[in-house]
Chain A
Amino acid sequence: MELFLEQIINGLTVGAVYALIALGYTMVYGILELINFAHGEIYMLGAYLGIILLGVLTATGVTAMSLPLSIIITIIAAGVICAAYGATMEKIAYRPLRNAPRLAPLISAMGMSIFLQNYVMLTQGPNDKVYPQTIPVTTFTFMGADVTYIQLFIIAASVILMAALHFFIMKTKMGKAMRATALDKKAAGLMGINIDSVISVTFILGSFLAAVAGVMVGIYYGVVNFYIGYLAGMKAFTAAVLGGIGNIPGAMLGGFVLGILESLGAGYLWPEYKDAFAFLVLVLILIIRPQGLLGERMPDKV
């Protein structure tokens, strides 16, 4: 029972991270119908920025003053920088291709992904990077299961961010514009919505969330690499598809479900096939229920 509960909590932690990244995929797909293959790399950039910024803050003495403050500054700053990366990426690699054949933006996204991976490898070195050991790993016991405060922090922060995003999409003017654009880009444009800025905001929000996920995973695992973006990105994409791509609550649900499924599957069935598990879920869901858990069936556009 304790093991089961621990697996569930591990699953929720990883799932929260998948959900945060999945939101970026699903928002971009909802508006542009583009699988942004480079989104996983933004998460990776975020994880690296976590190390870099924490290092700077420790060197300047902020960490010694207050560790939580330093972590929060790191998360926000990494999010802002990655948001700038996301918006720039959209402008360079996707905006010129908005009316191109469908394969073109996909290839462009893959090119961007390869580019960013190698950019980080060249500037930060090809070896693993370790997070500074300033964050203590303290655990408490919950119904017999060991839980770390970092896990609790990740789950709580993700839920808060998702609630904030939901509020933004449902209650603000820009959120309304985003929903309108997702529904019908042309009509939204005719109604006076600035499509370009809506798309930029979409990339900014998605990249911010992915960067936060990156920093939190970095703190959680302690090690980052320039190639972590691909696998995390694919799993997050799976989560997005699982929940119904283009559907924001779906991405959140999909992230948590995938995280728990993966954690239980690896814990009880085949640990060595942990990574294959996500792909299996992806393939099965697309074949059995392509609209996802919460998605609606969309008729083919003719």
Chain B
Amino acid sequence: MGEGDIIKNPYIKCLLAGIWIGLLTIPFAGIVRAAYIAGAVAGASVAVTFLTGLRRTGVIKIPPQGALIERVERLYVRGRSTGGPKKIIAIAILLVALSAFPFIADRYALDLASQTGIYIVLALGLNIVVGQTGLLVLGYVAFYAVGAYTYAILSTGHLINFWAALPVAAFMAGIFGLILGAPTLRLRGDYLAIVTLGFGEITRIVLNNWDKLTGGPNGIADIPRPRIGSFEFTLTYFYYLVLVFVVLTVIFAGRLNNSRIGRAWIAIREDETAAEAMGVNTTWLKLLSFALGAALAGLAGVFYTAKMGFVSPESFNFLESVIILCMVVLGGMGSIPGVILGAAILYILPEALREFAQFRMLIFGGSLVALMVFRPQGIIGTKRRGVEMRALK
């Protein structure tokens, strides 16, 4: 659209954009629907231009982008640096509310909440690798699959129960993380992303084809729920189990974040060469990051299988990896509350949009682009570096 640069009037630009998009969609959508699309695009961009124009001239006051978020963030940061009575109260209220949730929720909501918890753990695990260490991993779902299948195979063979499966699955996934991590340590950025993507796809294809062990595309069914003696963790109790799991993970991730290891990871993320020069053992720490991130995914996999009672390779496709990565990025990389928020939003929002089932993924894809264009640093986590610098003084 070279003519856009010649034409100065923003409203004409908007109209041209609408017409252009409309023309593009004609072969696919037909002339009538293309006209609707053109109108919608033009209308939306005119509205945005109008509002930004008003804001610039000061006719109406829209709070600057992210003002509310900054307030929340300040609370979080201050709470941490002063030992934070406010933060403790906030967390206590949140925990009480979450514990009381089953009394008001129906089956569907409880199931949704349990799955959200599992996603929060996954996102926190990936956050260790991507957000803190800065290693871009696109096949994270492979570790999740390893954990899930470990529990599925061992429990249906009556070899192991849920509780024993947790450390085994974490171990297996962690080893898998090391196997993936070790040869790829030399790679940086995009190359690492693609290798991990390749590993993730290979894992899924192997799960799909290794019929004897994994049941192939049909998957494995009749996986037992966790139990102690004759007491079975059904829906409500499973929710509490997931809640405990999430709380422990958050504490673990938080402690890790502020530890010597966490600081070293951040150093690697910001500048690997400089970190190495300062005596940070980058090889070991990157492997540790891989192993811990993978182990958390393995644990989440066990919870997932136990909740579903069924597992198949379909649940571990590339899109799942993308969604988990987006949870980390949406919230703001490296920030734990941000990641929790991101996971909750990205899982619950599409569920809430079930009514628009067909348009769900279209909206999801479009919002990813919009989010990156308008706020690439995520919802929370903008001040992260500044905070760390201040904490040093």
Hey, which bits of chain A sit against chain B, CB under 8 A? 29, 33, 35, 45, 48-49, 52-53, 81, 84-85, 87-88, 91-93, 96-97, 100-108, 110-124, 197, 230, 234, 237-238, 241, 272-273, 275-276, 279-280, 282-283, 286-287, 290, 300, 302
Task: Decide if A88 touches B188 in the complex (CB within 8 Å).
Answer: no
With A114-B368, A276-B205: A108-B194 Cβ-Cβ less than 8 Å: no
Task: Decide if B195 touches A283 in the complex (CB within 8 Å).
Answer: yes
**Binary flags per residue of B357-381, CB closer than 8 Å to A gives 1, else 0:** 0110110111111011100110000
With A101-B376, A120-B28: A273-B198 Cβ-Cβ less than 8 Å: no
A120 CA to B362 CA in the complex, in Å? Answer: 10
Which residue in chain B gives the minimum CB-CB distance to A230?
B318
Contacts of A85 in B (CB 8 A): 24
A87 CA to B209 CA in the complex, in Å? Answer: 39
A302 CA to B276 CA in the complex, in Å? Answer: 14
Which of A81, A118, A272 is in CB contact (< 8 Å) with B24?
A81
Task: Decide if B368 touches A49 in the complex (CB within 8 Å).
Answer: no
Task: Decide if A110 touches B376 in the complex (CB within 8 Å).
Answer: no
With A91-B1, A108-B368, A230-B318: A279-B28 Cβ-Cβ less than 8 Å: no
Contacts of A120 in B (CB 8 A): 28
Which of B1, B188, B329, B358 is in CB contact (< 8 Å) with A107?
B329
Task: Decide if A97 touches B205 in the complex (CB within 8 Å).
Answer: no
Which of B27, B186, B190, B365 is in CB contact (< 8 Å) with A118?
B365
Task: Decide if A115 touches B365 in the complex (CB within 8 Å).
Answer: yes
With A107-B368, A276-B202: A97-B373 Cβ-Cβ less than 8 Å: yes
Contacts of B193 in A (CB 8 A): 35, 106
Distance of B34 from chain A, by nearest CB (Å): 9
A84 CA to B199 CA in the complex, in Å? Answer: 34
Task: Decide if B325 touches A33 in the complex (CB within 8 Å).
Answer: no
Which residue in chain B gives the minimum CB-CB distance to A29?
B190
A31 CA to B171 CA in the complex, in Å? Answer: 42
Contacts of A49 in B (CB 8 A): 27
Task: Decide if A290 touches B20 in the complex (CB within 8 Å).
Answer: no
A290 CA to B186 CA in the complex, in Å? Answer: 10
Which of B21, B24, B190 is in CB contact (< 8 Å) with A33?
B190
Which residue in chain B gives the minimum CB-CB distance to A33?
B190
A81 CA to B209 CA in the complex, in Å? Answer: 39
Contacts of A112 in B (CB 8 A): 365, 369
Contacts of A273 in B (CB 8 A): 205, 209
Contacts of A275 in B (CB 8 A): 201, 205
Task: Decide if B187 touches A290 in the complex (CB within 8 Å).
Answer: yes
Check: B146 CB closer than 8 A to any chain A CB: no
Check: B161 CB closer than 8 A to any chain A CB: no
Can you list the 8 inter-chain pairs with the closest CB atoms, starting with the nearest?
Answer: A111-B368, A115-B365, A114-B365, A104-B376, A118-B362, A108-B372, A276-B205, A279-B198
With A84-B24, A122-B362, A280-B202: A287-B369 Cβ-Cβ less than 8 Å: no
Distance of B384 from chain A, by nearest CB (Å): 12
Contacts of B326 in A (CB 8 A): 107, 110
- What are 18 A-B contacts with C-beta separation under 8 Å? A35-B193, A53-B27, A81-B24, A85-B24, A88-B24, A103-B130, A104-B329, A108-B369, A110-B365, A112-B369, A113-B365, A114-B362, A115-B368, A118-B359, A119-B28, A273-B205, A282-B194, A286-B184
Which residue in chain A gives the minimum CB-CB distance to B271?
A302
